[in-house]
Amino acid sequence: MEKPSLEYLHELARGDHSLIDQLTEVLLAEFPIEREEYYESLKTKDYKLIGQNVHRIKHKIIILGLENAYEIANQFEHDLRDDNLDSDKVEEFEKILGSISDYLKTI
């Protein structure tokens, strides 16, 4: 299974450590909020709202270099646009969120 990495952020910062710190700080602050908002929206069964939250998290997924996870999230978002909430996709997406959460605890 692919693992999250900060490679993209390091490339962006071009060796500027304070910039890497700043970027990871934003990531650490924003991701838990977005994850929480996703779970809250899931309770409401508002597909549009769930889709919006998945969309925002998608960017974090790709920033962390998780290409396969990105494809899963993308498909999940498109299904939601078609008013289709697939429980398997919910489970897969939850695993992705878990994997990112675990990784962020290590940085």
List of residues contacting another protein (CB under 8 A): 8, 11-14, 19, 22-23, 26-27, 29-30, 52, 55-56, 58-60, 62-63, 74
- Write the DSSP assignment of the chain as a string of letters: ------HHHHHHHTT-HHHHHHHHHHHHHHHHHHHHHHHHHHHHT-HHHHHHHHHHHHHHHHHTT-HHHHHHHHHHHHHHHTT---HHHHHHHHHHHHHHHHHHHT-
Shortest Cβ 55–another protein spacing (Å): 5
**In the complex with another protein, which residue's Cβ is closer, 11 or 87?**
11
To another protein, the closest distance from the beta carbon of 41 in angstroms equals: 11
Rounded Cα–Cα distance for residues 99 and 93 (Å) = 10
Shortest distance (Å) from residue 93 CB to another protein: 15
Q: Which is nearer to another protein, 49 or 85 (CB)?
A: 49
Question: Whose Cβ is closer to another protein: residue 41's or residue 99's?
Answer: 41
